Amino acid sequence: MQSSYFSSLPEMGTDEVFDLIKAFSADKYPYRANLAAGVYCTDDGGSWPLNAVCRAESTLHHQADPTRHDYLPIAGDTQFLKVAQDLVFFFEENPQEMAIRSQERSLRVASVQTVSGTGANHIGAQFLVNHLNTNQVWVSDPTWTNHHIIWESVGKKPRLYPYYNTSNNCFDFHAMMQTLEAQARPRDTVVLHACAHNPTGLDPSKEQWMAIADMCQRKQLFPFFDLAYQGFASGDPSKDAWAIRYFYKQCPFIEMIVAQSFSKSFGLYGHRAGALHLVLADESDEIKGRAVAHLCHLLRCEISMAPKFGSMIVKTILSDQELTAIWLKDLQVMSKRIKSMRHALYHELIRLGTPGSWEHIINQIGMFSYTGLTPQEVNALRQQSHVYMLTSGRMSISGVNTKNLQYIANAIFKARQI
């Protein structure tokens, strides 16, 4: 038999999240629960197309724009990029305040449209490797798994800064600062979660963000913000972008990148709408133009241009005050349900007398909770109760609802008896 050129390919591990989703789908147990996927679900356990998105889709359908299937420019849809910039740096819920902020728009942000947040992270990483000559890349321990894969794909194996204290299930600010102060060097890139840290659900306080910004400025570190949950985390887009805006306002200017995703905050998971924003110290059109040209070069050889329909929905919503108001109400629906499930799960675990402390579940924010469950306990949840979550103990709170809450809490109680 003729051997293949690829017969010596090494084994490649699969993605745990998608493996668990597959296993859950194949499981016929009636009380199974999917706590692995980072997708918002209703209290009935189903998908939820946002009201604002449905309205925007109807508007686009009736407009029947004959150019709706045309190619975008390499850099992306200009109007989409404007509303994407405004959402990160200038958005206010009050229309009058928003108008004032928009008039104060800075010219020092170079933006391109990407394939959601993953694409923004990858294009940003490749750009920095090519042009910043970044020495080291620092990511939190733990962080979103894709951060490691993305940076390794561009030739940089990330170093870890402490983030999560396993003894008390809290954010370890002191250890993070101590490590970066001692070991980070000028031009190092520091990847930061703007809000709703994945996987821990733990964010720095405003005072801690101020200290992190001061350190980045003083040590000449390059912040790389991953913004995946703006508006979804707290229900307030301005609040969730606070850290980025604080960094942005510093003087001397702090140069940085923001990788922006619209998957969670608009429920556009499959449409892959995203943007990358490069914040520059130089306000000249020439430098910004050069930066966009280099980013476009990377986009051209990777995707040519980003998907169109998701960005059309986003710009339709954010360009219309009525649709924006509906979207803000949608954010409240999602964020409030997540918060209510956190409190309900906490109180049920306490009622059952589940061993351990569970306050961290209600102190965390956003889609995920780092439960503190061990790999052995997580395995017991899968094998005994058909409850699926990551081996790390990361739980998607969105998978919890009023119908399965008691079952999940009982499953955790039983797993803790092992």
Instruction: Give the pLDDT of residue 3.
Output: 85
Taking CA 116 as the corner, what is the angle to CA 208 and CA 12, rounded to the nearest 5 degrees? 95
Helical axes 78-89 vs 242-249, angle rounded to 10° = 90
pTM above 0.85, yes or no: yes
- Helix (H) or strand (E) holding 341, with range, is helix 321-352
Q: 67 burial class (0-12, 13-18, 19+ CB within 10 angstroms)?
A: exposed
Tokens of 275: 């943007």
Residue 273 CA to residue 116 CA, distance in Å, equals 4
Backbone angles phi, psi at 129, to 5 degrees: -65, -40
Residue 129 CA to residue 5 CA, distance in Å, equals 31
Instruction: Give the pLDDT of residue 235.
Output: 95
Instruction: Give the pLDDT of residue 12.
Output: 87
Residue 228 CA to residue 255 CA, distance in Å, equals 20
Res. 383 pLDDT band, cuts 50 70 90: very high
Q: Can you list the positions of beta strands (E) in 47-169?
A: 109-115, 137-141, 159-162, 164-165
Mean pLDDT, residues 3-29: 90
- Helix (H) or strand (E) holding 278, with range, is strand 273-279
The alpha carbon of 47 is separated from its chain's Cα centroid by a whole number of angstroms, namely: 19
Q: What kind of fold does domain 71-319 have according to CATH?
A: Aspartate Aminotransferase; domain 2 (3.40.640)
Residue 93: is its pLDDT beyond 80?
no
Structure confidence by residue, pLDDT tens digits, 181-223: 999 999 999 999 999 999 999 999 999 999 999 999 999 999 9
Q: Do the strands 164-165 and 170-171 form a parallel or antiparallel pair, or are they unpaired?
A: antiparallel
Residue 99: is its pLDDT beyond 80?
no
- Residue spans in the chain of domains classed CATH 3.90.1150.10: 16-48+333-415
- Residue spans in the chain of domains classed CATH 3.40.640.10: 71-319
**Catalytic, out of 226, 236, 240, 330:** 226
Residue 94: is its pLDDT beyond 70?
no
3-state SS assignment for residue 162: strand
Q: Evaluate whether 332 touches 40 at the Cβ level (below 8 Å).
A: no
Residue 371: is its pLDDT beyond 90?
yes
Instruction: Give the pLDDT of residue 102.
Output: 60
Instruction: Give the pLDDT of residue 37.
Output: 87
**Catalytic, out of 138, 144, 151, 209:** 144
Res. 417 pLDDT band, cuts 50 70 90: confident
3-state SS assignment for residue 395: strand
3-state SS assignment for residue 166: coil
Residue 119 CA to residue 310 CA, distance in Å, equals 14
Structure confidence by residue, pLDDT tens digits, 120-172: 999 999 999 999 988 899 999 999 999 999 999 999 999 999 999 998 999 99
Q: How far is CA 184 from CA 5, 27, 159, 256, in A?
A: 42, 46, 10, 16
**Catalytic, out of 48, 236, 240, 264:** 264
Q: Do the strands 189-193 and 222-227 form a parallel or antiparallel pair, or are they unpaired?
A: parallel
Instruction: Give the pLDDT of residue 152.
Output: 96
How is domain 16-48+333-415 classified at the architecture level of CATH? Answer: Alpha-Beta Complex (3.90)
Q: Determine whether 358 is an active site residue.
A: no
Instruction: Give the pLDDT of residue 103.
Output: 61
Res. 95 pLDDT band, cuts 50 70 90: low
Res. 44 pLDDT band, cuts 50 70 90: very high
Residue 323 CA to residue 152 CA, distance in Å, equals 40
Mean pLDDT, residues 249-270: 96
Residue 224 CA to residue 244 CA, distance in Å, equals 10
User: Mean pLDDT for the chain?
Assistant: 94
* Residue 307 or residue 97, greater confidence: 307
Instruction: Give the pLDDT of residue 211.
Output: 98
The two most distant CA atoms of the chain are separated, in Å, by 74
Residue 162 CA to residue 170 CA, distance in Å, equals 11
The alpha carbon of 176 is separated from its chain's Cα centroid by a whole number of angstroms, namely: 20
Residues 6+ apart with CB under 8 A from 383: none
* Identity of the amino acid at 265: S
* Residue 58 or residue 283, greater confidence: 58
Mean pLDDT, residues 29-42: 93
Structure confidence by residue, pLDDT tens digits, 62-89: 999 999 899 999 999 999 999 999 999 9
Residues 6+ apart with CB under 8 A from 28: none
Q: Determine whether 144 is an active site residue.
A: yes
Partners of 192 in beta bridges: 225
DSSP state of 165: E
Res. 106 pLDDT band, cuts 50 70 90: low
Tokens of 170: 């809290």
Res. 101 pLDDT band, cuts 50 70 90: low
